Structure 1
């Protein structure tokens, strides 16, 4: 007996959403898109219909809450055209046929019937493959009670099923929490958009697929944004098991033999190194050494800056004899310079993943991890997100270096209020000591999970001639 062929999923047109849905929406079904006003529902709905138009499908937008001019304005703001999308503009709050006020029936009852018939006539006339219904709030207000509202949805679902229409129904979530009872048991799938305004910074957006029958979705919350030209963009959480690159374990050299000796000959690929120290101890310099050595070996390197400007980074490196600008101009070095609050944890993880995958990067530097955490709310969540990213990078054979700052010039407290020590396979500690009016930089490998390492304290010398690691000799007592 032959197995029935699985129908192709329906592309949503929303970047990132199809990945979460494992390809798209199951065809010929009825879906709910919920969210507060301004969360991106209408924009995503237009993307859904535009994806259908691109595939030569008939698409209709049934609007009970927005005018065609308003929808066109939203499309134009993204540089989109409404061509190929029929807009059926109805009103559920006013009398459809002009006779509601003269009937012995309840006005709301007649309005509901007339609205339903008008929608069904438009669908039968246009015969769409995709439909957006905006929004259920007006129908809920007309029905007045939950049982009637449920019957309306069930009847509409049956009507659409007979015509093989993929329908996306928009709904504004209510604080009473009745949506689960009214909708989720009827719809084939439920997608929720969420937005929150923090005490400082821009609106934070996220989404979840709370229900999708027959699909092993990537559940939980995923960060999202609304971008001019792109519309709604979703950033699926990183899944470490998705790393497909296979690299043999190898030692990653810094180009400085005395530094490599501290790590037992070098650092292992597929590991994470925390470089911890106060200001001025040479944390970024350590990362630059490994990056330059990898670039000279012909490898690709990716740097993600959260504190230092791009030009400042180049000038500091050039002051140490490390000319990284030429590799940047040649495309072998990718540098992303982020402003505070510009990027969510989910978007950052996706940017890193895309660069590492497309460029086959061998060394990744995040400078600084402290700056990254200070730019996002909910640091504990950000740490969990970065942990998944680090596992992905490790399975891709990447050496990742996280720069972590400490408080104060001589302080010992890490400048973040969450524990990150478990993230590092290796911990390189940089300190400044003072003796007889002289500051000295010290360097120590305090942790290395893979193989032996030097436990001695060494002195780190940084000047215009370059970088040196030498045995630490205490200065004689006066």
Structure 2
């Protein structure tokens, strides 16, 4: 049986979108790029044409809604030039000035004919490989009714197909345009939608969806995206856990404190997730520093993602316990990312974590704190599902992941977030503070471990200047 030949594709100029499309857009077809004003359509269209120029292709931007000066301004904001891109600046109302002088008010048919002729003339003259048509909203307004608009698009599609042009048609979504969306989508070979929503607090959230793509097994659903100065549209495809495969046998990850390792039956296992839960001051971040230091001393790479604690605070706290991590950071063995939670989407965070694990063969990942990360997001229940995909990917990559989760109140009360996260952990390490005869004492307990035996006894956690110790918990004798 012969193997099916791969369909030729063209790069979109947006790496993340090409990943979603399994390589790019199928060649010689017409595509729709839909979205509200300001969603990023024009920027993505310029990236599409710039990718064509880099490939040695002829490219043309037909603009009915923006001037050449506006397009150059958008490109300049990213440090780009439009060299190699032919800009045809037309007007849907008076595309051919000579004909316009014949009457004071042009009919819709005359304006539509003039616009079509001007576009076809530009294509015949320049013979482009790639074309951007901006935008369909103007044509929709001229035609006035759906059947005529549909016939116009079908004719334009046939015209482009005969010349093997890959065309990207921009469609500005308005309430009026949305009613005609179904007809447009039926004509196009593929439809890509840009979504832009304003949250109650923080920056605008942007997402992309490939709602239709014939003949391509796309990664469907929403994917986070952003518009970055100097980069343009950046897409963060959702994590696919099945892509990660670690052929190594699970290994025991040691903390460097024998008594703590004994509580886990000899150590924690690679390819698992540990929730470190406790109130403020119980030693949650200290546990993260402890495992990070032990892994670094073994020569492994560690990734630390900070969402609450400042980098300098992390270093000083660790140094106060005899754990000097600055040099590991300078040497690149300890990779630290300090985030502003309001400025990063779940998709972008997942992509950053995935890239670090791939590029640096990371063995231990710490998220400190997971509570701060979730509390910064408007839809925390959805964020938990996103992080679950990331955790599965890390597990299948053989990574030990530690999630620092803040608890308030006594045991059994919530952990500072209104969604259940306990199912995320293969192991749960509970830290508490209790008052005993006028002084505070830290307790540590392994309350859950899916793989292998563990110690259910309560131990005392001692955090002192010479390091961390775990000892049996002995109540103070009563007088």
TM-score, normalised to structure 2's length? 0.97
Matched residues in 1 for 2:164 and 2:6: separation? 16
SS in 1 for 2:73: helix
Cα offset for 1:254? 0.4
> Could you say which residue in structure 2 is the equivalent of 1:405?
406
Residue 67, structure 1, aligned to residue 67, structure 2: yes
> Could you say which residue in structure 1 is the equivalent of 2:389?
388
How many matched pairs? 478
Cα offset for 1:175? 2.2
SS in 1 for 2:115: helix
Matched residues in 2 for 1:71 and 1:415: separation? 47
Matched residues in 2 for 1:152 and 1:79: separation? 36
Could you report, residue by residue, the CA deviation over 1:173-230 in whole angstroms, capped at 9, with x for unpaired residues?
1225324322110000000000111111010000100000000000000000000010
Residue 210, structure 1, aligned to residue 211, structure 2: yes
Q: Does the CA contact (< 8 Å) of 1:441 and 1:460 recur in 2?
A: yes
Matched residues in 1 for 2:278 and 2:220: separation? 38
Q: Does the CA contact (< 8 Å) of 2:34 and 2:192 recur in 1?
A: yes
Matched residues in 1 for 2:125 and 2:174: separation? 33
SS in 1 for 2:15: coil
Q: Does the CA contact (< 8 Å) of 1:15 and 1:232 recur in 2?
A: no
Q: Does the CA contact (< 8 Å) of 1:279 and 1:408 recur in 2?
A: no
- 1:154-233 alignment to 2 at 5 Å? 154-176=154-176, 177-233=178-234
Residue 419, structure 1, aligned to residue 423, structure 2: no
> Could you say which residue in structure 2 is the equivalent of 1:466?
467
Cα offset for 1:168? 0.1
> Could you say which residue in structure 2 is the equivalent of 1:94?
94
Q: Does the CA contact (< 8 Å) of 2:303 and 2:366 recur in 1?
A: yes
144-153 or 335-344, which deviates more? 335-344
SS in 2 for 1:308: coil
Alignment CA distance shift 1:182-1:322 (3 Å): same
> Could you say which residue in structure 2 is the equivalent of 1:431?
432
Residue 140, structure 1, aligned to residue 164, structure 2: no
> Could you say which residue in structure 2 is the equivalent of 1:333?
334
Cα offset for 1:437? 1.5
> Could you say which residue in structure 1 is the equivalent of 2:358?
357
Q: Does the CA contact (< 8 Å) of 1:12 and 1:18 recur in 2?
A: yes
Alignment CA distance shift 1:384-1:4 (3 Å): closer
Cα offset for 1:409? 8.8
238-247 or 79-88, which deviates more? 238-247
Matched residues in 1 for 2:240 and 2:413: separation? 34
- 1:276-287 alignment to 2 at 5 Å? 276-287=277-288
Alignment CA distance shift 1:344-1:4 (3 Å): closer
Residue 246, structure 1, aligned to residue 259, structure 2: no
Cα offset for 1:7? 3.6
Cα offset for 1:476? 1.9
Question: Could you list the runs of 5+ residues in structure 2 that have no partner in the other structure?
Answer: none
Over the aligned positions, Cα root-mean-square deviation in angstroms equals 1.6
Q: Does the CA contact (< 8 Å) of 1:225 and 1:234 recur in 2?
A: yes
Matched residues in 1 for 2:240 and 2:320: separation? 39
Matched residues in 1 for 2:264 and 2:410: separation? 26
Could you report, residue by residue, the CA deviation over 1:447-469 in whole angstroms, capped at 9, with x for unpaired residues?
00000000000000001111000
- 1:367-378 alignment to 2 at 5 Å? 367-378=368-379
